[in-house]
Structure formats: C-alpha cells, structure tokens
Chain A
Amino acid sequence: MMDTNSPDTATATLLSVQNLTMRFGGLTAIDDLSLDVPAGSITGIIGPNGAGKTTLFNCLTGFYKPTTGSLRLDHPTHGEMRLEALPSHRVARDAQVVRTFQNIRLFPKMTVLENLIVAQHNVLQRASRFSIAGLFSLPGYRQAEKEAIERAATWLQRLRLEHLADHAAGELPYGIQRRIEIARALCVDPVLLCLDEPAAGLNPRESAELNALLLYLCRELGIAILLIEHDMSVVMNVSDHIGVISYGRKIAEGTPEQVKNDPQVIKAYLGEDDEDAENSGNAVTEGAAA
C-alpha cells in the first residue's frame, strides 16, 4: 500500500492548481494562483507571513471552499479527482491528500500509538463492519487491528518514537509532537503529503533529521510532498521545486537555485530598497547554507 506511486509517473503532474482564488468578505487571501505539483518530488511553498500559504493548504484539503478555481489531482488509482468539490474528510480518505498543521493538532490525551491508530480509522472501521465484527472480536477484525498496530509501530520505529508509544501525546516536547504529527499523517497512507511548517520550533539538529526524513519519504517511498516552510535550511536543501507566494499571488517558481536569485523574491522578502537587494540575496543564500 505504501508504494502507490509507480516510478514511471515520477515526472507527471500529480496536483494541478488552476486559477485558484479565495476571498473572505473583502479580503482576497489567494488571488488567481496556478501551480503544479509534480509526482514523486518535493515542492516547497515559501512566502512572507500572511501570503496565503496556509489558506492554500486549507483550500487543498477541503477546509475552505475556494471562491473560484480548480484543484485537480491525478490520483494513481482513482484517476482525476477535483479536490475543491470534496469535503475535508474525503480529501484525506479518498484522494489521500493528507496534511499536518502549523499549530500542531494531535489528540493530546490519547497516546502516541492511539494517535497513529486513529489515523487508520477508515481501514479499521471497514474491517470492524460497523463495529459488529469488532464487538465480537472476529478473526478478520483482529487481523486488521494487528496490522494497524504493526503499521503504526513501523512508522514509530522509523521516526524513532517507539519508546514513547504509550505516552499521552500532549505531554511530549514540541519537536517530538511535530514528528508524531508527521507519523500520524503517514498512517493515512498519503499520495500527497502536505506539511505546514514542519520545522517550526525545531533545533538545527532536528531540522537536519527532518530533511533526511523528507528525502527518504519522497525518494524511497515515492510520496509526493508539498511543504510550507520558513526555515530556508530545510526548503532549499530538500525541495526539487519551489513556488513563492506573496499577497496571495505566485511571484516566482523554479528550482531552489532559480528562486534564490529571483529579484522578485528578494523584494518580497526584504522590501523595495535597492541597496539592500544584494545583501538580501546573500541572506537567503546563507540561510540555505546553514
């Protein structure tokens, strides 16, 4: 189930955002945005605070209904799906587009293991046949539950969280909670994994580990990743492709190298002043090197 993306689709477009606009009353948070997310690669989304990055995620994952525009997903098994027409739970369940949150949203009183098992709810619920098979603990359900636990344990092991499996998730340190949230999202078996600032609040060592994890997920397991991030050391090092958003519009797109040197991007991040433009270019570069 893990390798839903076969290698030959690696260059194809997985998600195509076309002319997306999202308005809240008078405020236009996203303005006619178009963006392609290739399959089997890591796409970074950067931009100043309030640029509309999280709003893009919310539109993508069904939490907001876009005012206009389309979100086409080329699902490896179901074919083309229109994400803007799906309610949020179907985006995760059927389209397998799964997200994490900027302000971590775990189930704090439940243990880490339970968090990961809840993420497999739909598979288990089907196996429990409306809880009937579950109530009587029939073999089919027992098997499904065992597999779910094993699957959760595998991810916990990979993210080095195994020893914390039975701790209440809400009581663990921030950096660990971030990792749990990623592990939980992976348990939903994503085709596209959307990470909203996964490096926020991590120390340099943890950031480096995150880089390794993202590369592993993408290169080894073929999961496409869409990444919102402010930490340049993460975005610039792992992204195959970067889109830059400012005031709800896409102002640049390209490889990390291209984006880094784009005058528009530098302007968006550091203002109009020409004198500073050169330094700012360095700032972004240094950030990447760090």
Chain B
Amino acid sequence: MAYALQQLINGLTLGAMYGLIAIGYTMVYGIIGMINFAHGDIFMVSAFIAVTAFTLLAAADVSSIPLALTFVLIVSIFFTSAYGWAVERTAYRPLRGSTRLAPLISAIGMSIFLQNAVQLTQGARVKPIPPVIEGGIVLWDTPAFTVQIGWSQLLIIVTTVTLMAAFTWMITQTPFGRQQRSCEQDRTMAALLGVNVDRTISLTFMLGAALAAVAGVMVTVYYGVVDFFIGFLVGIKAFTAAVLGGIGSLPGAMLGGLLIGLIESFWAAYLWAEYKDVATFGILCLVLMLRPSGLLGRPEVEKV
C-alpha cells in the first residue's frame, strides 16, 4: 500500500513532465497538422542549457534556491524559445502547404541534427549536477517503507498545475489564444480576417518550446543528469501522451501525460521494469484501436 502510494507520487511527477512536453506536440499538431519530431530534442537542448546555467550559478556562489531556479528558468526559456522559433523558421515554414510527409522528414532531419549538434558542442558524456533541491515531506512512515514526496516532486507538480491553468486561460481568453484557435480551424480564413498567421505559428512553436524548457529544467533538478539522447524517448512518450489524450486538446495532453507517467511507474514497480516502454506503446496501440480520437479528442465523423 505504502509502496503503491510512492509509485503514485513518482508517476504523477513523471507524468507532469510528459504532459508539459506533450502540450508542445499537441499545439503544433493542432495548428499546422504535423508531428514536430524535433520537439523532444528541443526539450533536450533546454536541459543542457539548464545544466550550464546551474553550473554558472554554482560558480558564482548563488545559494538561494528560489533565486537560482528563477534565473535558470528564465535563461532556459529564453534560449529554448529561440530554438523553437528557429526550427520552425528554417525547417518547417518553407514546407508549409507541401505534402504531408515533407515536413515530417524535415523534422526527423532536424531532430538528428540537434542531437548531434549538442553531442558535438557539449560532449557525449552524461552531465551530472549536484542536487539542487534535497529533502521532502514524509507522508507515511511504515516499518517496511517510507512514503515521501520530495520537494522537487512537489515543485514539479505545482509548477505544472500552475502552467496548465495559465495556458488554458491564455488559449481561451486572450487575443493570442483566439488567433491561435482561428488558425487551427482555418488558416486561410484567419489570414483573410487579418490574423498574422506566420506570427501566430511562430509564437505557438515558441510557447511549446518554452514549456519544454520548463520540463527540461525540472528534469535536470529531479534527476540531476542529462545526456544528448534523452530527447528521443521522452519525446516519443510525450507524443504518445498527446495522442492518448486526443491530439489537439490541451487538457488531453496533460491527462495523457499523467496516464503515461502512472502506467510507466506502476508497470516498472510491479511488473517488468525493462519492458516499461513496451507497456507504454502497447497501451497506445490499444487506445488508438478502440478510441482513435484519443480520450478527450473530438470523435471525427468521416467526411464523404
């Protein structure tokens, strides 16, 4: 029981991070209908930026954790958004309106490029940083097992919930949100009505990258290590989360992320840890077969 509770906490933490990244996939898919394959690598870049920023702070002897976190978040969000913007501008915008496969190939190329660029410039070795936030709250102390929620876990969950709320507000209430939704439904019409489609799409990519940056900082804080390959698997799982929740739906992405996180941690804890990726994909296949529009996606009536 205690063990299960701990898995629940771990799963939610993991799921919150998947969810943050999944939002980037789902927004981009919603607006230009493509799988932004390089999004996982954008997340990886942000984790490296976070490592550099933390190391800089350590060298400057900054000991205040809130201050350090704020600084790292701002730096990481700034640079990662720039990457999001640049990726869209170079690899996707020239291909808008061409075949469906062309941007996907370009995205895969971009993903390979980013991975190798980081490997070349930052080295192939795993980068460890000293723990930033230690300790936590002991929730339940049984003789056999101690259930604990780490401060970093709490931070991740709280940040994610706050960001989700802010995002939902932004998409539903602000002019940018309206423009974004209008581009999603009919880009040509939106352009005719004076929406700057290029700018809206660019901003969408930057926002997606910003969320990935938050996830990147969180991962760095939580695990304390990053390497150039983390983007691939995390990216695929986050995409799975987006599809599971119903692609195009923000709450769906979050829900999908949480489910994937929970499934993964419970599967690894109770069944076979080495097959946890099989579980994720297996469940994805099942969901798609039984409910192809995802959990919160609108079911599509086939247009004839």
A and B touch in the complex (CB under 8 A): yes
> Is A107 among interface residues, defined by CB-CB distance under 8 A?
no
Which residues, 32 to 67 on A, are CB-close (under 8 Å) to B?
54, 58, 63-64
> Is B120 among interface residues, defined by CB-CB distance under 8 A?
no
Main SS class of interface, B: loop
> Is A136 among interface residues, defined by CB-CB distance under 8 A?
no
Interface membership of chain A positions 54-86, coded 1 if the CB is closer than 8 angstroms to chain B and 0 otherwise: 100010000110000000000000000000000
Using Cβ atoms and an 8 Å threshold, which residues of chain A touch B302? 63
Least distance between A60 CB and chain B CB atoms (Å): 11
Are A63's CB and B301's CB within 8 A? no
Using Cβ atoms and an 8 Å threshold, which residues of chain B touch A24? 301
> Is B304 among interface residues, defined by CB-CB distance under 8 A?
yes
Are B301's CB and A58's CB within 8 A? no
Which residues, 14 to 42 on A, are CB-close (under 8 Å) to B?
24
When C-beta atoms are compared, the residue in chain B nearest to A105 turns out to be: B304
When C-beta atoms are compared, the residue in chain A nearest to B302 turns out to be: A63
> Is A101 among interface residues, defined by CB-CB distance under 8 A?
yes
Which residues, 270 to 304 on B, are CB-close (under 8 Å) to A?
301-302, 304
Using Cβ atoms and an 8 Å threshold, which residues of chain A touch B301? 24
Using Cβ atoms and an 8 Å threshold, which residues of chain A touch B304? 54, 58, 63-64, 101
Give Cα distance in the complex from A63 to B302, angstroms: 8
Give Cα distance in the complex from A54 to B304, angstroms: 9
When C-beta atoms are compared, the residue in chain B nearest to A99 turns out to be: B304
Least distance between A56 CB and chain B CB atoms (Å): 12
Give Cα distance in the complex from A58 to B304, angstroms: 7
**What is the number of residues of chain B that contact chain A, defined by CB distance less than 8 Å?**
3
Least distance between B230 CB and chain A CB atoms (Å): 41
Least distance between B23 CB and chain A CB atoms (Å): 28
Least distance between B244 CB and chain A CB atoms (Å): 23
Give Cα distance in the complex from A63 to B301, angstroms: 11
When C-beta atoms are compared, the residue in chain A nearest to B301 turns out to be: A24
Least distance between B120 CB and chain A CB atoms (Å): 41
Give Cα distance in the complex from A64 to B303, angstroms: 10
Least distance between A18 CB and chain B CB atoms (Å): 22
Give Cα distance in the complex from A58 to B301, angstroms: 12
Using Cβ atoms and an 8 Å threshold, which residues of chain B touch A64? 304
Give Cα distance in the complex from A64 to B304, angstroms: 9
Least distance between B196 CB and chain A CB atoms (Å): 30
Least distance between B254 CB and chain A CB atoms (Å): 26
Using Cβ atoms and an 8 Å threshold, which residues of chain B touch A63? 302, 304
Least distance between A252 CB and chain B CB atoms (Å): 26
Least distance between A25 CB and chain B CB atoms (Å): 9
Least distance between A64 CB and chain B CB atoms (Å): 8
When C-beta atoms are compared, the residue in chain B nearest to A58 turns out to be: B304
Give Cα distance in the complex from A261 to B14, angstroms: 70
When C-beta atoms are compared, the residue in chain B nearest to A101 turns out to be: B304
Using Cβ atoms and an 8 Å threshold, which residues of chain B touch A54? 304
Least distance between A161 CB and chain B CB atoms (Å): 25
Interface membership of chain B positions 42-86, coded 1 if the CB is closer than 8 angstroms to chain A and 0 otherwise: 000000000000000000000000000000000000000000000
Give Cα distance in the complex from A24 to B302, angstroms: 12
Interface membership of chain B positions 24-53, coded 1 if the CB is closer than 8 angstroms to chain A and 0 otherwise: 000000000000000000000000000000
Interface membership of chain A positions 201-218, coded 1 if the CB is closer than 8 angstroms to chain B and 0 otherwise: 000000000000000000
Which residues, 220 to 234 on A, are CB-close (under 8 Å) to B?
none
Which residues, 124 to 177 on B, are CB-close (under 8 Å) to A?
none
Least distance between A86 CB and chain B CB atoms (Å): 16
When C-beta atoms are compared, the residue in chain B nearest to A63 turns out to be: B304
Which residues, 176 to 229 on B, are CB-close (under 8 Å) to A?
none
Which residues, 233 to 247 on B, are CB-close (under 8 Å) to A?
none
Give Cα distance in the complex from A115 to B301, angstroms: 27
Give Cα distance in the complex from A33 to B277, angstroms: 52
When C-beta atoms are compared, the residue in chain B nearest to A57 turns out to be: B304
Which residues, 3 to 36 on B, are CB-close (under 8 Å) to A?
none
Least distance between B43 CB and chain A CB atoms (Å): 37
Give Cα distance in the complex from A105 to B4, angstroms: 55
Give Cα distance in the complex from A286 to B304, angstroms: 32
Least distance between A104 CB and chain B CB atoms (Å): 12
Give Cα distance in the complex from A266 to B302, angstroms: 33
Interface membership of chain A positions 92-132, coded 1 if the CB is closer than 8 angstroms to chain B and 0 otherwise: 00000000010000000000000000000000000000000
Give Cα distance in the complex from A200 to B146, angstroms: 73
Least distance between A67 CB and chain B CB atoms (Å): 14
Least distance between A65 CB and chain B CB atoms (Å): 12
Give Cα distance in the complex from A24 to B299, angstroms: 11
Least distance between A52 CB and chain B CB atoms (Å): 13
Least distance between A28 CB and chain B CB atoms (Å): 14
Using Cβ atoms and an 8 Å threshold, which residues of chain B touch A58? 304
Give Cα distance in the complex from A54 to B303, angstroms: 11
When C-beta atoms are compared, the residue in chain A nearest to B299 turns out to be: A25
Give 7 CB contacts A-B under 8 Å.
A24-B301, A54-B304, A58-B304, A63-B302, A63-B304, A64-B304, A101-B304
Interface residues of A (CB under 8 A from B): 24, 54, 58, 63-64, 101
3 residue pairs, one from A and one from B, having the closest CB atoms: A63-B304, A58-B304, A24-B301
